[in-house]
Amino acid sequence: RHVYVDQSKLTPEFIAQKHEITSKDGGRYAPAAFVTGAIDPVANREEFLQLLDSVPMPVLIILAENAPPKSKAEMIAMAELEQVETVRLAGTLGISEEYHEAVTAVIEDFI
């Protein structure tokens, strides 16, 4: 539920491929950095929104409708900025992998 919506895509081959990433040099730390937020360049939502608001060009947010509540709240906060165009799609945090065709179409329309 957290990363993928369609459980049929979670095949043994897919899981093995994802697990293989952790055996690459430095790769074992990537999931922990993502989950803990250790890769975040800012300390809080307000600081992030100020940075995003300072971007002098249009920004596309693809809002994952099935994202966990805290993540979705952050997406909604970003979507409220003036220069942000928001498209809502089914999916959760793995939306770009799980629904790559829909995500690609949205990006192509935006650019």
User: How many CA within 13 A on the CB side of residue 86?
Assistant: 14
Same domain? For 31 and 85 the reply is: no
Q: 73 with 108, same domain?
A: yes
pLDDT of residue 11: 79
- pLDDT tens, residue by residue, 47-92: 999 999 999 999 999 999 999 898 899 999 999 999 999 999 999 8
How many structural domains does the chain have? 2
Which DSSP letter does residue 68 get?
A: -
Rounded to the nearest integer, the mean pLDDT of the chain is 84
pTM of the predicted protein model:
0.70
Q: How far apart are CA 91 and CA 62, in angstroms?
A: 10
Average of per-residue pLDDT across 7-17: 78
Does residue 86 share a domain with residue 56? yes
Residue 86: domain span: 42-111
Same domain for 32 and 64, yes or no, is no
**Are 46 and 26 within one domain?**
no
Range name among 21-30, 57-66, 102-111 with the lowest pLDDT average = 21-30
